């Protein structure tokens, strides 16, 4: 009983100290991470944001990202003087999804010509643009057609075409609990060519749901590493496979990148 009372008093004093002096974190990186997460959780409640695909939420994610980067800024005059908005910069330059801050330095190109690199960049930009607009069906249709029964099954499953036997129209499954994610931004890390296949390694900034059942969403931002495989055909380069660098789902590799991971 005495230990319980002492514990309660200690906890009360601890909470009082936090309220009066702020929280002390074990590291700068941990502090910045918690700052950003606290903003996102608080703004969701204060602004009554329920639509996690809406403009208000996506703007909040951009602000959270900027808070995280500002927090990590070095305390030097040069660093502060040279700081440029990144996640918020797109509102000025009208580039809503290309987020050059996700990768340090310029993209690396190996085995591809300048013309090929430009075309690959345009193909990926069109694909990511559809995802940013939450047109996942349009995005998956930009890939090369399924070549195996398993690929065709996953294409129909994700697109909702298999539901036509029950419903009058497809019921896509891209935004259900298992596959839930929204694209906020992306950046190209490196592009290599091996034989007839071009591999583009991308970082995507996603909003994913950490809740257990999806009934009470717990959205957070997450940077994920993905790979595009592109092949050249009569119309130019086309995406053949899209997947996480370290896949964890059972979805066929051709479409694995569409899951939240």
Tokens 């694209």 belong to 183
In the prediction, which pLDDT does 90 show? Answer: 57
Check: CB of residue 97 under 8 Å from CB of residue 206. Answer: no
Beta bridge partners of 236: 233
In this prediction, residue 164 carries a pLDDT of 55
Distance CA 101, CA 238 (A): 26
User: All domains of the chain, ordered by start, with CATH?
Assistant: 24-93 (no CATH), 100-258 (3.10.450.50)
Check: CB of residue 90 under 8 Å from CB of residue 84.
Answer: no
- CA–CA separation, 213 and 41 (whole Å): 18
Token digits for 108?
A: 């690396």
Tokens of 74: 């070095």
Which segments within 26-150 are labelled E, that is strand? 108-110
- In this predicted structure, what is the pLDDT of residue 100? 60
Q: What is the pLDDT along the chain (261 residues), one digit of tens a residue?
A: 444 444 444 444 444 444 555 677 888 888 888 877 788 778 877 877 776 667 777 778 778 777 877 887 788 877 776 676 666 665 655 455 666 667 777 889 999 998 999 999 999 999 999 998 888 889 999 999 999 999 999 998 888 776 656 555 556 777 665 557 888 889 999 999 999 999 999 999 888 877 766 566 677 888 999 999 999 998 899 999 999 999 888 889 999 999 887
User: pTM here?
Assistant: 0.66
The DSSP letter of residue 145 is: P
């Amino acid at each position: 009983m005495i230990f319980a009372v002492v514990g309660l008093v200690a906890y009360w004093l601890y909470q009082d100290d936090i309220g009066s002096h702020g929280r002390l974190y074990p590291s700068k990186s941990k502090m910045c991470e918690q700052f950003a997460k606290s903003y996102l959780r608080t703004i969701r409640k204060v602004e009554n944001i329920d639509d996690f695909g809406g403009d208000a939420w996506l703007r909040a994610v951009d602000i959270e990202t900027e808070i995280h980067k500002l927090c990590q800024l070095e305390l030097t005059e040069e660093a502060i003087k040279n700081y440029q908005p990144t996640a918020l910069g797109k509102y000025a330059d009208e580039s809503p999804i290309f987020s050059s801050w996700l990768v340090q330095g310029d993209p690396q190109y190996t085995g591809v010509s300048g013309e090929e690199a430009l075309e690959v960049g345009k193909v990926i930009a069109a694909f990511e643009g559809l995802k940013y607009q939450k047109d996942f069906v349009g995005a998956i249709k930009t890939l090369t057609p399924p070549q195996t029964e398993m690929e065709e099954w996953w294409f129909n499953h994700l697109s909702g075409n298999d539901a036509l036997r029950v419903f009058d129209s497809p019921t896509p499954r891209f935004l259900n609990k298992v596959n839930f994610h929204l694209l906020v931004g992306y950046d190209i890390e490196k592009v290599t060519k091996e034989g007839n296949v071009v591999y583009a390694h991308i970082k995507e900034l996603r909003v994913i749901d950490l809740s257990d059942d999806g009934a009470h969403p717990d959205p957070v931002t997450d940077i994920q590493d993905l790979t595009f495989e592109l092949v050249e055909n009569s119309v130019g380069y086309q995406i053949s496979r899209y997947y996480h660098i370290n896949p964890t789902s059972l979805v066929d590799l051709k479409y694995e990148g569409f899951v939240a991971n």
